[in-house]
Amino acid sequence: MSHQKKTVVLGVTGGIAAYKALDIVSRLKKYDIDVHVIMSNSSCEFVTPLSFQSLSQNIVISDMFAEPKSWEIQHISLAKKADLLLIAPATANIIGKVANGIADDMLSTTVMATKAPVVFAPAMNTNMYANKIVQDNISKLKGYGYDFIEPNSGRLACGDNGTGKLADTKLIADIVISKLHTCKDLVGKKVLVTAGPTIAPIDPVRYISNRSSGKMGYAIAEEARDRGADVTLISGPCDLEIPFGVKFLKVETNGDMLCSVLKIYDNMDIVVKCAAVADYKPKKYAKEKIKKTDKEFTLELEKDNDILYELGKKKKNQILVGFAAESENLLKNAEAKLNKKNLDMIVANDISCNDTGFKSDFNRVTILTRNDKFSLDKMTKKEVAHELFNLINKLKR
Ligand SMILES: Cc1cc2nc3c(=O)[nH]c(=O)nc-3n(C[C@H](O)[C@H](O)[C@H](O)COP(=O)(O)O)c2cc1C
């Protein structure tokens, strides 16, 4: 996301899922977004304004005719201030009101008055959601350009099973953050990102792997998606949630990764190889579990594929970016890798610092191109991803 502070107006309406909107506020605040909450009167029956006020650090508005806290006319001022208006959870009632031009409280009036994108995250009983009137209202609003984050299926608070559960709060926050991304400079570009570790199996239960968490690669895939690219993320085994809006492929070994990457490589515009691919694998894979004995055990390893080198050889018009995780001679080794593997850019990653690197949310990197070097301060992996694509875009010109 660009670093200019953004404003989100969050409308909370009266359903059981109203408490989940608290989590959305904290997630957005973590991205330094200014969040203003408007609560419908009914929603105040479910959660107190004080909770939203504390988390958003802004006054919560619910009563349109309350004495103004500032000289500005609030429904207009928030409508103007908003870069995006999110309604989560959105009741059948608010959907119906907006679809029919009703503006009888602060939230519905603000929706009418705003020019910002409006996103609804509905949550309601399955039968309510399936009701033809609700569905017609949703279609009508979609036709006017309003966005919807579809509810999930599952067991609802009322005990029924079916569709109507508020979408995952992380997904809602991620979609909002993605929509706030104003710089769409990768529209029409195909971007391939690899992430996470690979594993080299020894026997059916054991394997060799490394400490890569996948966080850097996933952040890069998300940044490319937010800038409008068509993104494929090929990931080794890691615990992260699959980002929305990207084509996702899970692989295990170096060989799997090479195979999957080669299938699409020729069609890509930008390839960022962030995965920590195993360089060696056991010479022999034991089909049965290796038994423990009293003797020493030696495992013989052989070289595995050098995927980046293969891609460098086959490169046509792609921009090829590699990563170098080094614990010594960082820049020298990274520069050698840039040249040997025919890369356009390499991100040198000093793994000797214990406050950044593998499992951390932070990184401190130096990005090298063929003729330049950019040393970045310690920053979040998301910020590194942002800076990385700023530099990739300069290479494109
Ligand atoms: C316990 C309870 C739970 C409710 N849950 C929902 C819900 O999840 N979704 C919904 O659309 N309406 C739900 N309603 C009904 C709304 O609160 C009602 O339609 C209200 O008028 C909505 O007002 P609002 O849209 O201004 O918040 C619930 C009502 C009660 C009493």
279 is in an annotated binding site: yes
Q: Is the dihedral of CA 330, 333, 336, 337 positive or negative?
A: negative
Residue with CA nearest ligand 1 atom 4: 15
Distance from the Cα of residue 333 to its chain's centroid: 31
CA distance 48 to 115: 28
Q: 12, 42, 110: which to mutate for ligand 1, most atoms within 8 A of CB?
A: 42
CA distance 88 to 13: 7
Query: Domains of the chain (ranges plus CATH)?
Result: 7-180 (3.40.50.1950), 190-396 (3.40.50.10300)
Q: Are strands 365-369 and 373-375 parallel, antiparallel or unpaired?
A: antiparallel
Q: Which residues line ligand 1 (CB under 6 A)?
A: 13-17, 40, 42-43, 91-94, 123-124, 128
Contacts with 166 (C-beta within 8 Å, 6 or more apart), sequence order: 15, 17, 20, 88, 89, 121, 122, 123, 151, 152, 172
CA distance 103 to 85: 15
183 catalytic? Reply is no
350 is in an annotated binding site: no
CA distance 362 to 176: 22
- Residue at 355: amino acid letter: D
Nearest atom within ligand 1 for CA of residue 97: 25
Taking the centre of ligand 1 as the mean of its atom positions, its distance from the CA of residue 12, in whole angstroms, is 11
314 is in an annotated binding site: no
Q: Which residues of 95-118 are buried (b: 16+ CB within 10 A; e: fewer)?
A: bbbbbeeebebbbbbbbebbebbb
Give pLDDT tens digits along the chain (397 positions): 445 799 999 999 999 999 999 999 999 999 889 999 999 999 999 999 999 999 999 999 987 777 666 656 666 889 999 999 999 999 999 999 999 999 999 999 999 999 999 999 999 999 999 999 999 999 999 999 999 999 999 888 778 889 999 999 999 999 999 999 878 899 999 999 999 999 999 999 999 999 999 999 999 999 999 999 999 999 999 999 999 999 999 999 999 999 999 999 999 999 999 999 999 999 999 999 999 999 999 999 999 999 999 999 999 999 999 999 877 788 899 999 999 999 999 999 877 766 655 667 788 899 999 989 999 988 889 889 999 999 999 886 5
